[in-house]
Amino acid sequence: MEKQHQILSIILVLFVLSNELLTTESNDKIIDDVAYFQGSSTKSQVSGKKGKVITYNSDDGSHDFTAFYNGTFETQKAGVYLGVFAAQISSPRRNGKGNIDMWMRQDGEDVPDSNSIQSVDLGGTSVLVYSTLFQASANYKFELAYSAFTDEECTRLGLIATQPEKEPLVPSIILTIIQLSDGTNTIPYAQLFSSKTQLGNSVSEVIILDSVSAANRIDITTTEDHGTIKYSEAGVYFLVANAEVGSAEGTHASGEVHLWMRLNGKDMPNSNTIQTIRNGSAVILICQTVIKLEAKDKVQLVFSTTNKELGVIVSKPKNEPRVPGMIFATFQLLNEEKPIPYAQLSSSQSQWG
């Protein structure tokens, strides 16, 4: 394994939404005009191979956003939105194993390249995190769907809510939807994908991003050939990479996948993350940061593996959208004209519970 930056025990990102969505009255009272929704479900949701809409039963906070209990969400205002969805996946009796798929639908149709897969080990539970960036008009309707594939009959998988003793409830799903800007294409942003499987080794490789769902004021002309995202405007940006990591088709390889970022050809300090793969399991590996960038700065996503049969895996489940090897989203938080508070924190020490 070539030299990499230290793996941190935690990475914490904090930021205030763009000031262009905040207005001030004559008495200096700030009026928050940001549309958002924070919801969750206290009930377990179990499905089979046929896709099913994820629902919620708790509105934990919302403003200028419509959410229906049948799982349909509707924007009231046009703008660029960030969605982050965290599903607690497991088996109701902890006796099942297999995979959970999760993707988006818009106006009842599957959104291309929106799928993600995560394995459930026998007796295990984990969080499937899915994030997406999209431009929406007013009255834009969408849903989050999921399906479950078990390795054995007479077992079930799904999104499982639990109540640990002396701790808060663990919801089956946590939904966060935030308006980042008002109107159409008012901030630099992009969402890119990788449509080709890339297997790795101990020598780091750049992830190629050859598909795009949205791009505005960010140069993506070299992402297909070199995986390089060029930033046209200076500012502070949020970057989040969702990598679908696992083993090559027909194999059941085990090992580790490492994922980090490079800035202008140099490894970005404190950006590395690791995911263990066991017997061909599939997992979403997240790498994210808030960073100040200058005009013409270049960012790449880089990975390595401890097994040549592991990597960033693309697949196409039946009757579902394609699972891209990478979903990468980035957007500008601030520039010189609109300063806002933010922080990028990490821990270089292991923490034991």
Q: Provide the pLDDT confidence category of residue 184 given band limits of 50, 70 and 90.
A: confident
What is the model's pLDDT at position 32? 59
Instruction: Summarize the confidence of residues 75-82 as an average pLDDT.
Output: 95
pLDDT(166) > 60: yes
The per-residue pLDDT for range 42-60, each reduced to its tens digit, is: 999 998 999 999 999 999 9
d(C-alpha 259, C-alpha 257), whole Å: 7
> Tokens standing for 75?
């924007």
Give the residue ranges of DSSP H helices in 145-247.
223-226
d(C-alpha 232, C-alpha 76), whole Å: 30
HSE (CB half, 13 Å, CA atoms) of 255?
22
The per-residue pLDDT for range 109-163, each reduced to its tens digit, is: 999 999 999 999 988 999 999 999 999 999 999 999 999 999 887 789 999 999 9
d(C-alpha 315, C-alpha 328), whole Å: 17
Q: Provide the pLDDT confidence category of residue 67 given band limits of 50, 70 and 90.
A: very high
pLDDT(24) > 70: no
d(C-alpha 4, C-alpha 22), whole Å: 41
d(C-alpha 346, C-alpha 6), whole Å: 11
- Architecture of the domain whose range is 187-335: Sandwich (2.60)
pLDDT(344) > 90: no
pLDDT(282) > 90: yes
Contact 188, 331 (CB under 8 A): yes
The pLDDT mean for the chain works out to 90
DSSP β-bridge partners for residue 81: 134, 179
Q: Provide the pLDDT confidence category of residue 99 given band limits of 50, 70 and 90.
A: very high
Instruction: Summarize the confidence of residues 225-233 as an average pLDDT.
Output: 94
Instruction: Summarize the confidence of residues 265-275 as an average pLDDT.
Output: 96
Contact 120, 89 (CB under 8 A): yes
d(C-alpha 181, C-alpha 216), whole Å: 13
Within 10 Å of residue 266's Cβ, how many Cβ atoms?
A: 7
What is the model's pLDDT at position 199? 98
302 CB-contact burial (10 Å; exposed 0-12 / middle 13-18 / buried 19+) = buried
Share of the chain above pLDDT 90, in %: 77
Contact 147, 49 (CB under 8 A): yes
**Which fold, 19-181?**
Jelly Rolls (2.60.120)
Instruction: Summarize the confidence of residues 291-313 as an average pLDDT.
Output: 97
* Same fold for the pair 19-181 and 187-335: yes
What is the model's pLDDT at position 127? 97
Q: Provide the pLDDT confidence category of residue 12 given band limits of 50, 70 and 90.
A: low
> Tokens standing for 90?
């497991």
Map out the domains of the chain as residue ranges. Answer: 19-181, 187-335
Instruction: Summarize the confidence of residues 275-284 as an average pLDDT.
Output: 96
What is the model's pLDDT at position 283? 98
Q: Provide the pLDDT confidence category of residue 31 given band limits of 50, 70 and 90.
A: very low
What is the model's pLDDT at position 298? 98
